[in-house]
Amino acid sequence: MNGTVRKNIAPGLTVDIVLKKDQPTGRLTRGIVKDILTNSPNHPHGIKVRLQDGQVGRVKVIIPDGNK
């Protein structure tokens, strides 16, 4: 599932995000969503979230429950 639709994302989900510093390379960082920072219902580059460890980035992939 991709991360461009806000209703697909909720606190507690495991996601892969792209951090601002990693945008040129597209390197993904995995973590658990703490806060959703984007207010609009969708965003073409991914919904911006804050992970539980404090990192902020745009969601590229939502990880299904069994694949953590």
For 31-61, write each residue's pLDDT tens digit: 999 999 999 999 999 999 999 999 999 999 9
Q: Is the pLDDT of residue 66 over 90?
A: no
How is domain 6-67 classified at the CATH fold level?
Answer: SH3 type barrels. (2.30.30)
> Does the pTM of the predicted model rise above 0.85?
yes
- DSSP assignments along the chain, one per residue: -BSSBGGG--TT-EEEEEEGGGTTTT--EEEEEEEE---SSB-TT--EEEETTS-EEEEEEEPPGGG-
Instruction: Please say whether the beta carbons of 16 and 58 come within 8 A.
Output: no
Q: How far is CA 55 from the centre of its chain?
A: 10
* Unique residue bearing structure tokens 């980035």: 57
Q: Distance between terminal CA atoms of the chain? A: 14
